[in-house]
Every structure is written in C-alpha cells, then in structure tokens.
C-alpha cells in the first residue's frame, strides 16, 4: 500500500499533512523519504510517529542533535504571526494540528512513540540481545539512533575523564613560564597561567577565549610545560596538533612556531614541541569515498596528547570519532572561542561544554589547589555548586589585541552581549577602525565598486608577479564576507559581480577560463589531493609559465595543481561568514542582506566582526543590525542538561 495513503488513512484527513509541511519549507524531501521507507518496512501507520520521525530528520538538518517534544508542543514550527494575528493564535493553530494527528500532549506523544517498533529507549539499547531501532526516545528528547550514539560516546568519555585523578604539575616550571614581577603584577588574575596549570593537571580540558586573548600563546606554554616534565622523567611526549580546516591548521602551525621561539626553555624542549598541525580529516585518516576513518577504536592514534584548535567548528559526529580514535591514556585539549558560530553540521560541542563558563568557576577544593600552584587569588571566585565539568574549563578574559579605544573590540563585546543599543552606539561613535555603510533609500544592489576597492593591492601584486607566498599574504589582507548564499547580497551573486567588475577594468582578460589572480575555495574534501573543504587556492603561473592553482598546506608550504585536477570549488573574493571561521584578515567587509533572515544572529555577526584585525566595515541597515543582535542560535542536544543540570538525557 502507498505510504502516503497509509498516512492519510491514519490521519483521517484528505490533506497530505507532511507534503504540506514540505511545501511550507518545514520538511525536506529526504525527511519524508526516510520516514516513508521505515514506516512501510514495519507497517507503522500512526501519524504521530511519522510526524516525529520526519521532524527529527528535518531538525538534524538545522543543526539539532535531537528534538524535544515538550519544546515542539509549545513552539509553532510554522509560526507566521503576521498571518495568524498573534503568537497565541499561532500556537493554538499548531497544537490543534498536532491534536488532529492524535497528539494531545507531550506526555501522550511520548507514550505513542514508546509503543512504536521504530523507537527504542536507552534502557532497551543496553540489552545486547535487542537490535537497535532507527530512533531513540530519552525523556522527551527524540534522537536518530546514530546521533544518540554520538552523544553518548562524548558523555561516556567525559564521565571517565572528569572522575580521573589529577596529574602532578611542576610549580618551578610553571614559574619559569610565568615569572612573577612586581612591575607586572596587577590585581587581576593571570588567566593564561591558570589555564596552563589547570590543563596540565587534567586529562581533559577546554580553554576558551575571544580574539586576542592569547589562546595559542597559552597552549604553547602548556605544551612546553608538559614536554619539560616528560623530559625530567626521561620520557618523550607524542603530541598531535589539529584543526577542522586547512586554513585553521595553517594558522595554528604559524602561531605555535612564533610562540615557542619566545619560550624561556632550551632548544631541545622547543624542538620537541611540534609545529605542524593537520586537519582532523588528515589526522584520523580520511578514506576517500568511505565514511569510516583509518584511525578508530581498533586502530587508535599514536599520541599521548591531542590539541584541537577552533573547536567551535567541530560537529558532534566528528568529536565522537576523534574521541573513539584516542588511546585511553591520551590527554585531550580543546581550544576555541565559544561565542563563534557553531559547526555547519549538527551539534554545538564547544558551546555545550562551555555553556555557563563565564560563571562556572572552580569547586572550593580545586580552587584552593590552583591558587597554591599559581599564586593567583582564585579562591574568592569558587562556586560551591559548580558542576563537575567546570573543573576542566578555563576562560581567558583579557584581550591583548584590542585596546580600550578599539572600536572592533568594543563592537565585538557589545554584539556578544546581545546589547543592540551598545552595538549601534559603537558603530556610530566614529572609531577609526570601524565603518558603517547603511543602505540608501531604495537601494536593491550591493555597491560593488566600493567593495572591490579592497582588492586593489591584490591586483597590483598579481601584475607585479610576486611569488606565491607574498601573493597569498596580500590576498589575506582583505576579505568580503556575506551572511547568506543566495540573493543580491549573497555570496554567489557578489562573487559574480566582482569578477565582472574586475573584467571591465582589464584585471581579468577572459571570465570563461582560468586567469592569473583567480581565487577559489574548495567546497568538498578531496583526500586524493590532500585538500579539504574550505581550502583556498590562488591561480598563478609556475616557472614554466603554466597556470596552476596554489594551496597553502598546514606547514606553511604551497602545492600547485593544474586547474583540471580540482573537484568542486567556487570563487572566493567573497565568502560566507561560516567559511571564514578559522581565518583572520587585516580588513573585513561584512555584507548583510536587505531583508531579515533566520541566519542573521549575534553569533554570525560576532564571528564576522572578529575576523578583522585592523579594520571592519559593516554594510547593513539599523533594523537588521538590531534584529541580528537580539537573535541567537539555539541547538538542541542532551549535553547541556547532562553536564550542567545533572539531569538524565
């Protein structure tokens, strides 16, 4: 029998409810196909179950690990207040739709699901004789089975690490790295020192901080301390450095190379600290065409310590696979800015782990230990009710990049706080490192001429035929960022208009062929070439005059490939804010669309703002800036409750 006929009969309605939701944009074709196939396989006809499976799949596509049935019951997923007249009416309409599908309350919804052969409970999964179901219902949260497994892998790992005994840390080595000086001693806590002492004491740690707070300097000192301690014990420490993208790995490589040259240790220790970082895909051994990595539980990584930078970009499945590939004795150190955009794929691991890090200080006993070790006054900040995860977290609270007179620093802080009044004030204040370009009345297209001016220096470098390293550096000085992909202000349109503008001015001879200066970004991993999604390539002739596309590798070297060898890519004179994560530029122009969009959130604007080191230009209206500042990303999972509220997932 046709699956939609089953659905209609079960709903006792002539309307194809799920097809209607697809037309409204609530569901994708894959969401319907997935639940149809499962329902037909076991003969499930209850619309409440089919709705649940389709929504669970759809919300995964939006970045959520699970759906909370209580939340969905209280939140209209087809919320159009402008048509419904009020949110109360919209909610009534939504709940009536669910009731017509046999769902009278969240509790009854859970009862219906618990009776379905498509749904298992966590207790059922613990019985090895029972085959897994496609979905798992835990409390009021409904997961796809695989993502429930990923979450449990992470939670099980954290449970083990948080209960592990601490390591002994050398106070003398810590003092060498952070020498006390009356001239530099202030009333403020040296959170870099605290972070090093804390992470050195534990098998698992998270160090978070905004731009310019010295995250890389801090972890370089941490690695030096651990290497020096291992040396004193006659041991060698196998260290791995990784980041989600090639660009982020290259930045980590460069930053650690610079930071370790300033260490107060001998060359032997400095040389023992690796500089070369890899992408997580390279680290785990991406096998082209297969979802499984070469390194896993059966074939773990040969490491004693793994440091991962830019963890805000790491999704839950990748974090679970990293944890699975770690040897049981290995330390794991996570580094990143918790306030940046979450990963493109499902989950917000860093955000969940550091959910309340601003207020999560240390338990009294641990605070006393760290105070003694660091000689920093940590004890007054102790929180007697802090959850176990708080011991592993350190927030770097002082920015050394932006001074108190920096407009970028003030704007980033105001945006992060969701303070729209302070955001508007900072944009209007006339800071020399900030520029605000508001659209003119009736403006419908981007000002390409003004946006393109930022690339004048780059095209001069192309004409001068500078070497690839210099060309790459000049290109990295300026970047146009967009909030969306489609539309007049989307990345696709802006790139096309920029290239046409460059062509009109003679900088490009032919738009239909590869040309010197063409800049591209890969949109798909290519393990065969050793290149990955997000890697940027610049087109330049080699010594024989043949055009090649040059990519910077994580160790800072370059590889030149014939254009015909590249897979999927797109132009990158403009890129989305998501693609810019892990990168920094001297000057950034962030282009907002004219109309509201769900992607316009404070996290997106904060991430765009903090890509700029010297100058930031915002193109957008007052109303959109206010709306984005007051909007935030919410991604549902069970990690926050499990780690912070001590409630079962």
Q: Which residues are annotated as a binding site for ATP?
A: 209-216
**At residue 245, what are phi and psi to the nearest 5 degrees?**
-125, 165
**At residue 617, what are phi and psi to the nearest 5 degrees?**
-120, 130
Strand partners, 558: 552
Tokens 């017509």 correspond to 100
What is the 3-class SS of 521-569, one letter each residue? EECCCECCCCECCCCEEEEEECCCCCEEEEEECCCCCEEEECHHHCCCE
CA–CA dist 143, 153 (Å, integer) = 14
Alpha helix stretches (DSSP H) within 244-363: 246-260, 267-272, 280-284, 316-325, 349-353
391 Rama class: left (phi>0) / alpha (psi -120 to 50) / beta: alpha
CA–CA dist 424, 630 (Å, integer) = 12
CA–CA dist 257, 347 (Å, integer) = 31
Bind-site residues: 209-216
What is the secondary structure of 139-201 as a DSSP string? TTEEEEHHHHHHHHHHHHHHHHHHTSPPPP--HHHHHHHS---TTT--SS--HHHHHHHHHHH
Based on the number of CB atoms within 10 Å of its own CB, is 58 exposed (0-12), middle (13-18) or buried (19 or more)? Answer: buried
CA–CA dist 66, 69 (Å, integer) = 9
CA–CA dist 267, 224 (Å, integer) = 11
């Amino acid at each position: 029998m046709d699956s939609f006929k089953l659905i209609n009969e079960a709903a006792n309605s002539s309307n194809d409810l799920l097809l209607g939701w697809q037309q409204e944009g609530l569901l994708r074709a894959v969401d319907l196909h997935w639940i149809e196939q499962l329902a037909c396989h076991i003969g499930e006809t209850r619309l409440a179950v089919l709705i649940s499976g389709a929504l669970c799949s759809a919300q995964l596509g939006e970045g959520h690990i699970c759906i909370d049935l209580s939340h969905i019951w209280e939140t209209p997923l087809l919320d159009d207040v402008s048509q419904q007249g009020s949110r109360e009416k919209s909610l009534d309409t939504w709940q009536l739709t669910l009731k017509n599908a046999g769902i009278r309350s969240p509790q009854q919804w859970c009862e219906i699901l618990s009776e379905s052969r498509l749904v298992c409970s966590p207790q059922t999964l613990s019985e090895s004789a029972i085959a897994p179901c496609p979905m798992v219902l835990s409390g009021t949260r409904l997961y796809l089975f695989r993502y429930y497994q990923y979450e449990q892998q992470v939670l099980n790992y954290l449970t083990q690490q948080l209960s592990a005994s601490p390591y002994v840390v050398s106070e003398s080595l810590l003092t060498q790295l952070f020498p006390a000086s009356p001239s530099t001693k202030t009333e403020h806590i040296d959170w870099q020192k605290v972070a090093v002492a804390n992470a050195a004491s534990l098998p698992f740690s998270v160090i978070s901080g905004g731009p310019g707070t010295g995250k890389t300097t801090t972890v370089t000192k941490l690695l030096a301390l651990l290497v020096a301690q291992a040396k004193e014990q006659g041991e060698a420490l196998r260290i791995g450095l990784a980041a989600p993208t090639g660009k982020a790995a290259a930045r980590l490589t460069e930053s650690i190379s610079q930071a370790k040259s300033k260490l107060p240790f001998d060359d032997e220790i400095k040389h023992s600290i690796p500089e070369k970082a890899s992408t997580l895909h390279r680290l785990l051994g991406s096998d082209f065409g297969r979802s499984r990595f070469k390194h896993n539980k059966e074939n773990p990584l040969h490491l004693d310590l793994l440091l991962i930078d830019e963890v805000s970009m790491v999704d839950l499945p990748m974090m679970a696979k990293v944890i699975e590939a770690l040897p049981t004795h290995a330390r794991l150190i996570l580094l990143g800015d918790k306030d940046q955009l979450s990963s493109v794929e499902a989950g917000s691991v860093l955000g969940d782990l550091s959910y309340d890090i601003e207020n999560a200080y240390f338990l009294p006993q641990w605070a006393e230990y760290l105070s003694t070790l660091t000689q920093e006054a940590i004890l007054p900040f102790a929180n007697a009710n802090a959850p176990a995860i708080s011991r592993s977290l350190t927030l770097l609270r002082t920015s050394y990049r932006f001074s108190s007179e920096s407009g970028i620093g003030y704007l980033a802080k105001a945006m992060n706080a969701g303070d729209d009044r302070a955001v508007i004030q900072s944009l209007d204040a006339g800071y020399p490192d900030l520029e605000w370009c508001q659209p003119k009345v009736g403006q419908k297209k981007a000002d390409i001429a003004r946006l393109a001016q930022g690339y004048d220096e780059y095209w001069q470098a192309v004409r001068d035929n500078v070497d690839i390293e210099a060309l790459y550096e000049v290109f990295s000085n300026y970047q146009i960022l967009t909030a969306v992909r489609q539309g007049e202000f989307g990345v696709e349109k802006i790139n096309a208009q920029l290239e046409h503008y460059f062509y009109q001015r003679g900088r490009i001879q032919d738009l239909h062929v590869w040309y010197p200066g063409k800049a591209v970004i890969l949109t798909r991993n290519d393990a065969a070439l050793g290149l990955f999604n997000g890697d940027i390539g610049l087109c330049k002739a080699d010594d024989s005059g043949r055009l090649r596309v040059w990519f910077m590798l994580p160790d800072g070297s370059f590889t030149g490939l014939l254009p015909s060898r590249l897979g999927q890519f797109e132009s990158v004179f403009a890129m989305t804010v998501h693609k810019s994560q892990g990168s920094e530029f001297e000057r950034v122009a962030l282009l907002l669309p004219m109309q509201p969009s769900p992607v316009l959130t404070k996290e997106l604007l904060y991430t765009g703002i903090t890509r700029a080191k010297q100058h930031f230009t915002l193109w957008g209206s007052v109303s959109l800036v206010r709306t984005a500042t007051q909007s935030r990303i919410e991604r549902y999972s069970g990690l926050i409750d499990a780690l912070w509220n001590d409630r079962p997932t």
